[in-house]
Amino acid sequence: MIKLKTPVIYIFFIVVLSITGLAKSYASDLAFFDQGFGDFSEELKIAKEEGKSGVFIFFEMDECPFCHRMKTTILNQPEVISFYKKHFKIFIVNIDGDVEMTDFQGKVMTQKQFSFEQQRVRATPVFAFFDLSGKRVVKYTGPTSTVEEFLMLGEFMLSGEYKNSSFTRYKRARRKAARDS
């Protein structure tokens, strides 16, 4: 009888720990992303009212290992959450999603249509920054390597350097300046 209780208790603890880990991952997702109503035209108005610099959209798909890595190693970091929440309204769009939404111009479509037809997202993750008129000004495809690189991507948009340079050149110049100082 003792032998039977030990495996049951062991399994119970594994299940509890697994659920706790999933809850922490889910909670960190919720901490980074804003809760929206699926209407980006309304979210633009809110962003303006709140004094944000724009809207940031994380395009993902469920089976994407790079999206998962970004959520569990970069987007859940306090400095990332703080920086992005200060400057942007932040949303997630599933590129395979059939959920109905409204784009920045007020047109109703699915997340999949918004991703493929309007934003031309073909691979994930994709990070897109939109100015307060709803115009996409920065699009970056693929995961960032570090928290610092992801923060730099946000700074690239905020500084307006996207008008003059690619993100790759911007990173290289920033890293060179840091080495030289």
CATH of the domain at 129: 3.40.30.10
Range of the domain at 154: 33-180
The whole-number pLDDT of residue 6 equals 57
Work out the number of other CB atoms within 10 angstroms of the CB of residue 77.
17
Would 1 be classed as within a structural domain? no
Which residues are paired to 89 by β-bridges? 55
> Is 132 domain-assigned?
yes
Residue 44 resides in a domain? yes
24 falls within a domain: no
CB neighbour list of residue 59: distance below 8 Å, 6 or more residues apart: 92, 93, 95, 115, 119, 121, 124, 125, 126, 127, 128
pLDDT in tens, 135-172: 999 999 999 999 999 999 999 999 999 999 999 999 99
Q: How many domains does the chain have?
A: 1
12 in any annotated domain: no
- Domain membership flag for residue 26: no
0.85 surpassed by pTM: no
pLDDT band at 21 (very low <50, low <70, confident <90, very high): very low
Any idea what DSSP says for residue 96? Answer: T
Tens digits of per-residue pLDDT, 45-104? Answer: 999 999 999 999 999 999 999 999 999 999 999 999 999 999 999 999 999 999 999 999
**pLDDT at residue 7, as a whole number:** 54
Rounded distance between C-alpha atoms, residue 17 and residue 50, angstroms: 39
